[in-house]
Structure 1
Amino acid sequence: MSTNLSRRRFMVMTGGAAAAMTLGGLPQAASAAETAPTGFGAGTTGGGSATPVTVSTLSAFAAAVEGDAAKVVRVSGLITLSGQVDIGSNTTVLGVGSSSGFTGGGLRIIEATNVIVRNLNISKPLAPADGITVQESTRVWIDHNAFSADRDHDKDYYDGLLDINHASDYVTVSWNTFRDHFKGSLVGHSDNNGDEDTGHLRVTYHHNQFNNVYSRIPSLRFGTGHFYNNHVVGADTACHSRMGAQLLVENNVFASTKVAVTTNRSSDIDGYAVLRGNDLGGAATEISQVGSFTTPPYSYTAEAASTVAASVAAGAGAGRI
């Protein structure tokens, strides 16, 4: 993961939402819940009604997402990356069909605002690139993507699937799949970044599936997180609140998981957590400090944990909008 804050068009080159969208040339009706984000990222509109541009090469994509004018960029096919491509403000990036996206690297949303990323396959982001990095950015919606790698290599061979850091704020992560990876989603990159991060890093995760992801589901420092209606299978350590972070863990399902929630690992300062309505599936919890974040400042509907696995299986990932 790069911590260089200089703005660049892209790091390395090798090779909003409307009521109805066109994916793969076919009109796809979407429910109200899928046409706009809920949670902390509510109000994100991306490129809005800008005329879509379809790209199928890295050079065309990098040029299309540059700058802060309103734009909707449709990615057709699987594009190989080395490093990350920077995404400008007021942008919607939308995969065409069920198999478009990026492999080998990822996307970076840096010093930007009002960005939507939907319906992409993002796989095997070789370190130091994350699948998606959100850095010094606000109003971001990451929705209906499929993130994946493998666990055949050392844990540092790939970087994070989705990392949110450097005082980013008002982010919603919804209806994505994360699979076969060591380091899922890190919010707040360092224990030493409290001066920048405190008061920011407000993130909502809902209706995501984490399958065979070892840890960081998510790992949250300093910020405020709402983790609800997610399905976690095969984790060693799932939700991790540290460095004074406040995490509300609500109506989720954990299966074949050792530790569902912890507040007291890996950092000198513990975090806070509130748990309610979860199906822990026999997983342990390590709550050293009960949090004060119990009422998110937005409207949402949390379904009962008993229906979460079926809902997420039917709706999460690329090709589902």
Structure 2
Amino acid sequence: MRTRPPRTHTQRTATVAAVAAALATATVLALPGSAGAADSSPVGFGAGTTGGGSASATTVSTLAAFKTAVTGSTAKVVKVSGLISLSGQVDIGSNTTVLGVGSSSGFTGGGLRLKNATNVIVRNLNISKAVGTDAITVQKSTKVWLDHNTLSSDRDHDKDYYDGLVDITHASDYVTVSWNVFKDHYKGSLVGHSDNNASEDTGHLRVTYHHNWFDNVNSRIPSLRFGTGHFYDNYVVGAETAVHSRMGAQMFVENNVFRDTEVAVTTNRDSDVDGYANLSGNDLGGAATEISQVGTFTSPPYGYTAEPASSVVASVTAGAGTGKL
């Protein structure tokens, strides 16, 4: 029998260090919504969204191939390689994962639409300058995870030249928006499109936003009607009005950082009915708040780990956007 020579003190020390590092990494990855590692599954209202799951991936580099690949409701994983130009929007079918390859793949000139879909993941895409439409529209859809995307336009045009970056409407439900960069835009993210849509939207529009970086986005960060929103560990820079709760919506605004922002949270603008908001642990950075009604939503119905506001800027600027998975 072959005898292995005893390990030296240096080798034992190196082994212990390696094990300790592995355990530390495992601990970080196990924390839902923790900073420092890409989430392997959505945290928040979108929890349980699996997209295409373990289906074999199809890689596309043209618009025609992409449209074909994302059609239908069978489980599918579609990887986008390179930057694809489009006009308008492409509809994404149910049970789909759309994943950008590298840090610069995605779409320009138009965007994606999830309509009457369920169980959809969109990750690691650059979507820019979607003229006359949203970068991503979620409409009449449930179980959606939008993660580690970079969404942008410019502010060289008037505020209606582009539409929203992420708009969630028509009773969509159970959505998580995490670790995205929203930048250089007027109207960031609208949840609930109209004051007159109570019959459809009431009891739906449950959305979680966490660890997103809103940089030079003027407003709608987000604007929420009728629904329930959890906004935690986000970094907002350069907004006129950020979080906007209206038409009876319930917002829990927790451990966020606001800089160069005029109004961090408002509940009493632009609609006939005010919204509700609860604030906890935020660093307002001198921004005003306009809270006409304190809400009852303070305990989200899911597990998550909210880091303190003191570490949010470092975590979000290091971890949000494409190329960070």
Question: Structure 2-normalised TM-score?
Answer: 0.89
Matched, 1:202 2:206: yes
1:224 aligned residue: 228
Matched, 1:98 2:103: yes
The structure with the larger Rg is 2
Unmatched 5+ stretches in structure 2:
1-27, 33-38
Aligned partners of 2:109 and 2:255: how far apart in 1? 34
1:133 aligned residue: 137
**Runs (4+) off by over 2 Å:** 30-33
Secondary structure in 1 aligned to 2:200?
helix
1:24 aligned residue: none
Aligned partners of 2:160 and 2:290: how far apart in 1? 26
Secondary structure in 1 aligned to 2:168?
strand
Matched pairs, number: 291
1:141-160 pair list within 5 angstroms: 141-160=145-164
Q: What displacement does 1:81 show? A: 1.1
Secondary structure in 2 aligned to 1:264?
coil
Matched, 1:48 2:53: yes
Aligned partners of 2:225 and 2:262: how far apart in 1? 21
Amino acid at match of 1:171: V
Q: CA RMSD in A?
A: 0.8
2:291 aligned residue: 287
Amino acid at match of 1:207: H
Aligned partners of 1:242 and 1:54: how far apart in 2? 41
Secondary structure in 2 aligned to 1:307?
helix
Q: 1:113 aligns with which of 88, 93, 118?
A: 118
1:36 aligned residue: 41
Q: 1:77 aligns with which of 82, 101, 111?
A: 82
Q: What displacement does 1:31 show? A: 3.9
> Which structure has more helix as a fraction of its residues?
2
Amino acid at match of 2:58: V
Aligned partners of 2:156 and 2:80: how far apart in 1? 29
1:25 aligned residue: none
Secondary structure in 2 aligned to 1:35?
coil
1:86 aligned residue: 91
The C-alpha deviation readout for 1:225-262, integer Å capped at 9, x for no partner, is 00000000000000000000000000000000000000
The C-alpha deviation readout for 1:180-211, integer Å capped at 9, x for no partner, is 00000000000000000000000000000000
Q: 2:240 aligns with which of 236, 243, 254?
A: 236
Aligned partners of 2:122 and 2:105: how far apart in 1? 12
Percentage of matched positions with identical amino acids: 78
Secondary structure in 2 aligned to 1:171?
strand
Aligned partners of 2:106 and 2:239: how far apart in 1? 26
2:18 aligned residue: none
Unmatched 5+ stretches in structure 1:
1-29
Q: 2:301 aligns with which of 297, 302, 320?
A: 297
